[in-house]
Amino acid sequence: MNESQIDLAHTVALGSIGDEDQRAVAEILDTDDSVLRAAFTQEVQQTREALALAATAAATTPPPALRDRLLAAIATDQAPPNTIHHSHTTFHHGNGRSSQPVRD
């Protein structure tokens, strides 16, 4: 299946299919390509199952200490140990004199 056929299968699973899409689905289901028909039907079914599972999932409240642990981790987050810091050389130009490097 190509990307547009996969998108179409997802649209079918969501139940938000228009007239043009219905014609495209009919073409896929009426094709002589049994592999395409099977793949399309399977994609629709798997998407419906995933949507049904997502609909039944209940939000849970995170443990009270989780927020504090996350904020503490963010506050102490440092650059990775393999970070290399380079000194920068800045050249100042002025009054027609030669430029001399100035280290930052």
Mean pLDDT for the stretch of residues 74-91: 62
Taking CA 87 as the corner, what is the angle to CA 84 and CA 88, rounded to the nearest 5 degrees?
Answer: 125
Domain that holds residue 45: 3-56
Question: Does residue 35 belong to any structural domain of this protein?
Answer: yes
- Residue 27 in any domain: the answer is yes
pTM above 0.85, yes or no: no
Please check whether residue 89 lies inside any domain of the structure.
no
68 part of a folded domain:
no
Nearest in space to 10 (alpha carbons), one of 54, 52, 51, 53: 51
Residue 59 confidence class, pLDDT cut points 50, 70, 90: confident
For residue 1, the 8-state DSSP code is -
Better pLDDT: 6 or 64: 6
In a domain? residue 65: no
As for how many domains the chain has, the answer is: 1
Residue 29 falls inside a structural domain: yes
Whether 88 is in a domain gets the answer no
Greater pLDDT, 18 or 81 = 18
Whether residue 99 is contained in a domain is answered as no
